[in-house]
Amino acid sequence: MSAPPEDSPKKSAVIKRIGLAMGLLSLTAILFLIDSCTTFSPAKGESPSRIVRDRDSSLKPSTVQEKKDRPAFKKVDSLPNAPTSLPPSTAGGDVSSLAPLDLPINVQDDMDWNSLERVIQNQLAVMEAQNDFEPVTLEGLNLTRGDLKNSLRLFLGLLRQNLTPDEFNHRVRKEFKFFKAGQGKDKKFLFTGYYTPVIPASPVKTEEYIYPLYRLPDDSPEFNFVSHAPSGNPENFSLTSWKNLTRKQIDHHRALKNKHLEIAWLKDDLERFFLHIQGSAMLRFPDGKLQSVGYAGANNYGYQGIGKLMVKDGLLGKGQRSMQGIKKYLRSHPEKIPYYFYQNKRYIFFTYKDQGPQGSGGGVLVGGRSLATDKSIYPAGGLALIFVRKPVLNRDNKIVRWKRTFRFVVDQDTGSDIKGPGRADLFFGIGQRPGIMAGSFKEWGDVYYLIKKK
């Protein structure tokens, strides 16, 4: 039954008022959402383009900031609408033909801008003398050294202009093409981490410091190597090249004894073994002096990770394969150390460095900003944006959570275990805190190389 005619105007007015109120509420909600997604405020005392959220590369423990003080990134599995693979027509072709990438509303970064400027300057310093016309290949994309250098120079110039986040985002989109690298249909990278430890050492052998670090041996024919094992031992040997010596022959049978190759002595064999994996360290001598040492060369054997072997033998669970997990087990079971160490026949030789840790591309590394990849696929000097989860530590150096983050890095280094288009090693810095983060870091993520538009 219909309502009496005289009530219709009143009901119509009520309905209109309700509709208007609902519309205003909806508009307010939309504006709030837009504002929360597209803007963020700089930390107190910072310019808008130099927002500092974490300083994970610092050696001093820092508190975990509250969420309200640290604008969160958009939590998505990958960058929106990113191409899953490079179109066939551009593979090995001109970078200008790459399709534009739909990045987040603001191209964000979770570290301070100063560290980014420093890593770019470090890499440019060693690239200045390189031939601009030398061809390089970035996962099938034909470039030159000049393309890499010009991309770094342009980006460094943008950093120094003190742009607002929106202006910076606009300029990055306008000036660069983004190339998604990686393995498989979805172009993914498996990230691991590395760092530079600070290790107690001595320039001479003592009762406490008994484990040597060796410099690269001489290749001269008369420089022979003889086993010092007891007579009749089946593993006695005589070789004419140090490159064919195994870890067991060097450390157990002392093949390099009396060759005057020692550059320092350590007191902890576990630290020495992991230094061989990391490739560089800061040595702290008894007088307090710090000396940087780095990779000088290796023997002819490939790298064999011992964590996988220990899991296979039932000594570690799958979640205990981190550096910390391996160290913890072997310190509790020192009798197992020789067996597992000698499974990795690869042996590293070191040299003194005048500066801090350097990448294979020659540039000095910066914690959180330096990336290691397979240099047969990705050339040193590539500017990249990575998207991956990172560990967040508290004051006690305990991981309290994992956070998704965008970060600009420079591809500067490589590693014996970093092989193929989908592997990357992120340098975390120097000391204990970066070491904890690096030892726990094994994450899938995305890598986007930035190439200056022609």
**328 and 369 part of one domain:** no
pLDDT of residue 293: 95
CA angle 436, 441, 442 (to 5 degrees): 155
Domain end position, chosen among 313, 335, 353: 353
- 16 versus 122: the higher-pLDDT residue is 122
Domain assignment present for 323: yes
- 56 versus 129: the higher-pLDDT residue is 129
Domain assignment present for 258: yes
Strands (E), 300-398: 348-353, 370-372, 382-393
**187 and 328 part of one domain:** no
**319 and 442 part of one domain:** no
**218 and 332 part of one domain:** yes
pLDDT of residue 161: 96
Grade residue 18 by pLDDT with cuts at 50, 70 and 90.
very low
Give yes or no for residue 421 having a pLDDT over 90: yes
Q: What are the pLDDT digits (tens) for 383-414?
A: 999 999 999 999 999 999 999 999 999 999 99
Domain assignment present for 140: yes
Q: How far is CA 234 from the centre of its chain?
A: 43
Domain assignment present for 4: no
Grade residue 318 by pLDDT with cuts at 50, 70 and 90.
confident
**233 and 324 part of one domain:** yes
pLDDT of residue 225: 60
Q: What single-letter amino acid sits at 291?
A: Q
The continuous run of DSSP H or E covering 452 comes out as strand 442-452
Structural domain boundaries, residue 147: 69-76+107-194+362-452
Question: Distance (Å, rounded) from C-alpha 258 to C-alpha 345?
Answer: 22
pLDDT of residue 226: 58
pLDDT of residue 94: 43
Domain assignment present for 36: no
Do 430 and 198 meet the contact criterion of CB atoms below 8 Å apart? yes
Grade residue 40 by pLDDT with cuts at 50, 70 and 90.
very low
Average pLDDT estimate for 44-63: 29
Question: Distance (Å, rounded) from C-alpha 252 to C-alpha 274?
Answer: 17
Q: What are the pLDDT digits (tens) for 146-200?
A: 999 999 999 999 999 999 988 998 999 899 999 999 999 889 999 999 999 999 9
Domain end position, chosen among 353, 378, 393: 353
The continuous run of DSSP H or E covering 264 comes out as strand 262-266
Give yes or no for residue 68 having a pLDDT over 70: no
**323 and 204 part of one domain:** yes
- 17 versus 159: the higher-pLDDT residue is 159
Q: What are the pLDDT digits (tens) for 321-373?
A: 888 889 999 999 999 999 999 999 999 999 999 888 999 999 999 999 999 99
User: Other C-beta atoms within 10 Å of 344: how many?
Assistant: 21
Q: What single-letter amino acid sits at 432?
A: Q
User: Other C-beta atoms within 10 Å of 277: how many?
Assistant: 17
Domain count, the chain: 2
pLDDT of residue 167: 92
**377 and 447 part of one domain:** yes
Q: What are the pLDDT digits (tens) for 87-126?
A: 332 333 444 334 445 555 566 789 999 999 999 999 999 9
The continuous run of DSSP H or E covering 262 comes out as strand 262-266
pLDDT of residue 379: 96
Question: 121-157 burial, b if ≥16 CB within 10 A, otherwise e?
Answer: ebbbebbeebeeeeebebbebebbbbbbbebbebbee
Domain end position, chosen among 292, 320, 353: 353
Average pLDDT estimate for 446-451: 95
The strand pair at 382-393 and 423-430 is best described as unpaired
Lowest mean pLDDT among 228-232, 279-283, 366-370, 420-424: 228-232
**203 and 296 part of one domain:** yes
Backbone angles phi, psi at 364, to 5 degrees: -70, 135
Domain assignment present for 343: yes
**379 and 349 part of one domain:** no
Average pLDDT estimate for 289-315: 93
Query: Comparing C-alpha atoms, which of 286, 272, 327, 282 is closest to residue 431?
Result: 282
Domain assignment present for 131: yes
Average pLDDT estimate for 411-425: 93
DSSP single-letter state for residue 40: -
Grade residue 449 by pLDDT with cuts at 50, 70 and 90.
very high
**245 and 180 part of one domain:** no
pLDDT of residue 103: 55
The continuous run of DSSP H or E covering 11 comes out as helix 8-38
User: Other C-beta atoms within 10 Å of 17: how many?
Assistant: 10
pLDDT of residue 233: 59
pLDDT of residue 218: 81
**256 and 400 part of one domain:** no
Give yes or no for residue 30 having a pLDDT over 50: no
Structure tokens at 398: 């305990």
Domain assignment present for 407: yes
Residue 388's SS3 state is strand
CA angle 342, 346, 351 (to 5 degrees): 120
**202 and 349 part of one domain:** yes
Q: What are the pLDDT digits (tens) for 212-255?
A: 999 999 875 555 565 555 555 555 555 557 899 999 999 999 99
pLDDT of residue 104: 52
Average pLDDT estimate for 29-54: 32
CATH code of the domain covering residue 411 = 2.40.40.10
Question: Distance (Å, rounded) from C-alpha 435 to C-alpha 451?
Answer: 32
Lowest mean pLDDT among 29-43, 206-220, 265-279, 303-317: 29-43
CATH code of the domain covering residue 227 = 2.40.240.50
Question: Distance (Å, rounded) from C-alpha 337 to C-alpha 329?
Answer: 10
pLDDT of residue 144: 97
